[in-house]
Amino acid sequence: MKIMIAYDGSRNAKLALAQVVNMFRCNQPLLVLVGVVENPLDATDNNEALFQQEQNDLKQRLQEGVAFAADEGFQAEQLLAEGDARKMLLQATRKITPDLLVIARHSHQPDGGIIAKSLTYFVDELDYMTFGSVSSFLARRAECPLLILPSP
């Protein structure tokens, strides 16, 4: 069994990886963590430096995710892609042909104030009616089963 996980090192991506480890421990699948860094909009030196820094940071987060999976007894690999996250993840599913694609829903943590909590509640209600752009795109186009894990 091969499970591909969209992984960016965020809190939700780490939680999704941990959930996959717990849910599929008895199957011992190969885990493929895929991270996508977006290309800069223009080719200035400043943007190139920011892109390189983002790419290096994502490589490190992917390595940390693979190390976590390995510590849990899983065989794991990483793949780093450049471009639009939606298209690169879809392309990766076609190349890797996983048995399951796992992505975590994006969320924002409230700052604790009453207005922030009210706004967060409203946004969460809208979130339940729709998916994020990456989730929605992949739900319509992925040619493998897709598991969208909710954010806590």
Average pLDDT of span 39-66: 83
pLDDT band at 112 (very low <50, low <70, confident <90, very high): very low
Domains of the chain: residue spans and CATH: 2-149 (3.40.50.620)
Which residue, 88, 105, 75, 112, is CA-closest to 15? 105
pTM of the model: 0.80
Task: Please tell me the predicted confidence (pLDDT) of residue 150.
Answer: 82
Higher-pLDDT residue of 52, 91: 91
Is 75's pLDDT higher than 70? yes
Please give the angle made by the CA atoms of 44, 55 and 130, to the nearest 5 degrees.
100
CB 61 within 8 A of CB 12: no
Exposed e or buried b per residue across 103-120, where buried means at least 16 C-beta atoms within 10 angstroms of its C-beta: bbbbbeebeeeeeeeeeb
pLDDT band at 111 (very low <50, low <70, confident <90, very high): very low
pLDDT band at 50 (very low <50, low <70, confident <90, very high): confident
Higher-pLDDT residue of 138, 125: 138
